Structure 1
Amino acid sequence: MCIAAIPTYTMAETIHRVHVTIEPAGGSIPSGVMKRMQAGIQAAAEHIYVGKDSNAITSQSESYRQITADIVDRILYGYNVRQLTVAPGSTTELHLSLAPYGNTVTSVTTTVEYGTLSSEARQLVKRDMDGIDARAEQLLLGLPLDSLDWASTVAQQTIRDELAGRLPEFAVQTVVHPGVETQVTIYVIPQGAAVRKGHAEVVSNTLPAAVFWSTKREFDQYAEAMVGMPVAFVARHVPDINEGLQMKLNRSRAVTQFGISMAPKVQAGEDVTVVITADSSRYIARGEAYLDAGRSEKNVGLRLYAGVRQGKGSWYMEADFYPEDYSWDIFPSYKYAITEDTALTYQYNISDSAGRLRLDQALGGRWNARLQHDFKPNSNELGVSYDVHSYLTLEYVWAEHDNWLRVIGRI
């Protein structure tokens, strides 16, 4: 019996790609830096290995390991190759164990430069940037100082990319000041259309607007603080701004001591308006004066309201005084809020023993409309008004036999 010894050979393969894995031999490597390392090493390794015969690599494994280690040392300043293994194949596996040398970053402090933004704007920006200091620390803490020449670029780009999603209305610049105690400075620069003006208005259907003059001045300052902020940033943060204003209003004396309901509404744009609706939940006490241009009789008047509120309804007395003949019209009235924007009112004129029905409708923005029917005489009146601000309204009136412009000043 004869036994033949047949030699065996490993089938040679052409290397098509290189897969790199890195393991820290001491400490840890931030994930962003790790990806940059892998990408750099893989690009270099592909020049060495791709297209070569796997058996040729195996037969000269020590030479290839040394060449690869030398190139990695040149690419990754601040790290030494402790161990390198190469597994040749169609996809060649390259595994490295890296250790830092020299001093490392022991602390990372992040500072944000807001430029000329107001304290109110800074609070909103700070909320959007929440956790960015921890992210900077995660990217840089523990890195060798010699590696910061290239690793800080990774950290800067990563921070910019993250803040681009959180603060799309700002251009973000990041500067890393390397050292054992590394400093990171982030600059936020507004871009796009900016707020040019800001003011506040206090609107009340139950109380004299003059009562809220100090409130208006206080919130004028808040609205003016938004000047310079990107319009899109303010628009995105309207719910946050409203929430903050509501908390501030809830602590005011008008709410805590006098039971006045106050609700803010921010209108974003190049001219930011903070509209505060202030109404008593119990009482009605307000007045207005009007002047009609294009009307011959009762074209100047003083109108006073006083009453109480009950749920969606209001019982009140309206008194109209006409200086031209020193006469009065007295209207016991009931108003019911059908919706937030629609109200129906019935009034009875004691002087003429006649009733009238009135429908008020908010049209959106500063526009409103009213439709009024007087039972004696049997006539209708339509008015469309525009609120110039909380103290002045312009209304154009169409009556059955006449039209006129009414200027209404709220007291």
Structure 2
Amino acid sequence: MNPLSRQITLVVVLVAVCLAVLLPGAAYAAEGDTVQTIRVDIAANPPATPRVLRRIEASVKTVGQRLLVGKKTELISQSHQTYEALMQEVLDRVLVGYSVQQVAITPGVATKVAIVLEPWGERVRAVQVNIEFSAVDKLFIPLLRDELGDLAASINGILLGLPVDSLEWADTVAKNSIRELVEARLPEYRAAVDIVPGEQTQVRLVFSPVGAVVREAMVSLRSDSMPNLLLYEMKPDVEAFAKALRGLPTEFVSRKQLELTGQLEQIALSHPYSQSYLLNVRGELIPGPDTQIHLQLESRKYRVNAEARLDMGRDNANTSGHLHAGKFVSPEDELFVEVELITNTMQWQFSPGWGHQIGPNTVVGARFNVTDNSRYAWLEHRFGDNWRLRFDRSSEKDDDEIGLRYKLHDFLSAELVHRPHENFIRVIGQL
């Protein structure tokens, strides 16, 4: 039982004793209708908030039920002035901050109790709202505040005009109203509400996450057109964003996934390299306690790849370095040169060529090895983000090659290679 209800009970018990003395007939049942329910009509100037009015209505009903329910309507009609005076005295005691100007009782099976209230003493004339977020990086404070909207205005609507003294019992009502506002706007957080009453009322809200939060965020930057060493220069900005995600509720990250992904892409696009190399950025954010961030960055102008290769299961020419440098002459066509160094023999291979994009996942082309005057046609097809199938066809010698490649992580891949007289596994480090 809350303090207001206990106070009502004590006062009503005392009043009931008085009624038994002053109105002896009230203690005995007479013939006729009895009061079964209480209806309440409240007039307040200025009007109170709906939740405060409901609390006042509940208090009036409690008093009415204890004083009137079970009594004969005829008795109440005969002594209505006494009952009205007693109810006014009780309500004046329990509705701190309000003066009960009038109580009117209309007897019946459903008895109506109409009261007129007027606030007294100081009123709340201004509300200062202070909002704090627990364990949230400053990067995301504006986003969370945007979700809350004009919360201060809504809280003003709850508290402004209330008698300061009424917050002695309306404090819980106000806090529950504020929590409902927060839950409707930011359900992933719970607000601890502290109200310091006064003409200049202070409201402090401390937000804490509900449920699972982001503990870690892992970043992966990938590109088929730019070297990893260049991407590595861009990674700190993205990792700073990822670090800022820690502490956010996973449900909030999931709900704002598109917006957060857009912020992530914008961070990558704002890097000087993105502008210099005309990068397209496609981001993916997978929410969870261990959130994953993937960025695919592709140049609209260049394609540059540098690789170190180790062929396992092959005796000759099994270590090499490979460089591909190309420029797009149209959205689908690329002119390039490839340079390969066989480190076992220190032999250089130079191959200019052309590639043409067919759809989003397939590239075909031709190249000419100027070192041994051999010509090749080639095809490459991608399966998702990690798998790649390629086919090289030589027109001069028995040197065809088929490779199935899997990307283990950003800097390492493995490829199963088939040639006419040998099969081996190629380990590829992407620089």
- Whether these two folds match at TM > 0.5 is yes
After superposition, residues 280-319 of structure 1 pair within 5 angstroms as 280-309=299-328, 310-319=330-339
What is the aligned counterpart of 1:162 among 154, 166, 181? 181
Structure 1 residues 293, 171: closer, same or farther in 2, change over 3 A?
farther
Q: Which residue of 2 aligns with 1:330?
A: 351
**1:232 maps to 2:247:** no
Counterpart CA distance in 2 for 1:268 and 1:354 is 45
**1:368 maps to 2:377:** no
Q: Which residue of 1 aligns with 2:378?
A: 356
Question: Equivalent residue of 2:353, what SS?
Answer: strand
Structure showing the higher helix proportion among its residues:
2
**1:381 maps to 2:402:** yes
Structure 1 residues 120, 405: closer, same or farther in 2, change over 3 A?
farther
Counterpart CA distance in 1 for 2:332 and 2:219 is 27
**1:69 maps to 2:88:** yes
Unaligned ranges ≥5, structure 1: 1-10
Shift of 1:194: 3.0
**1:185 maps to 2:204:** yes
CA contact (8 A) 1:313 1:337 kept: no
Counterpart CA distance in 2 for 1:62 and 1:76 is 21
Question: Equivalent residue of 1:99, what SS?
Answer: strand
Shift of 1:102: 0.8
Counterpart CA distance in 2 for 1:182 and 1:268 is 39
Identity over the aligned pairs, expressed in percent?
A: 24
Unaligned ranges ≥5, structure 2: 1-30
Q: Which residue of 2 aligns with 1:44?
A: 63
TM-score between both structures, scaled by the size of structure 2: 0.81
Q: Which residue of 2 aligns with 1:408?
A: 428
CA contact (8 A) 1:381 1:398 kept: yes
Counterpart CA distance in 2 for 1:21 and 1:297 is 98
Structure 1 residues 52, 316: closer, same or farther in 2, change over 3 A?
farther
After superposition, residues 201-216 of structure 1 pair within 5 angstroms as 201-216=220-235
Q: Which residue of 2 aligns with 1:5?
A: none
Counterpart CA distance in 2 for 1:184 and 1:166 is 18
**1:259 maps to 2:259:** no
TM-score between both structures, scaled by the size of structure 1: 0.84
RMSD (Å) for aligned C-alpha atoms: 2.9
Residues matched between the structures, number: 392
CA contact (8 A) 1:321 1:329 kept: no
Counterpart CA distance in 1 for 2:220 and 2:283 is 10
CA contact (8 A) 1:300 1:323 kept: yes
Question: Equivalent residue of 1:276, what SS?
Answer: strand
Structure 1 residues 319, 248: closer, same or farther in 2, change over 3 A?
same
Shift of 1:256: 4.9
CA contact (8 A) 1:194 1:227 kept: yes
Counterpart CA distance in 1 for 2:422 and 2:175 is 71
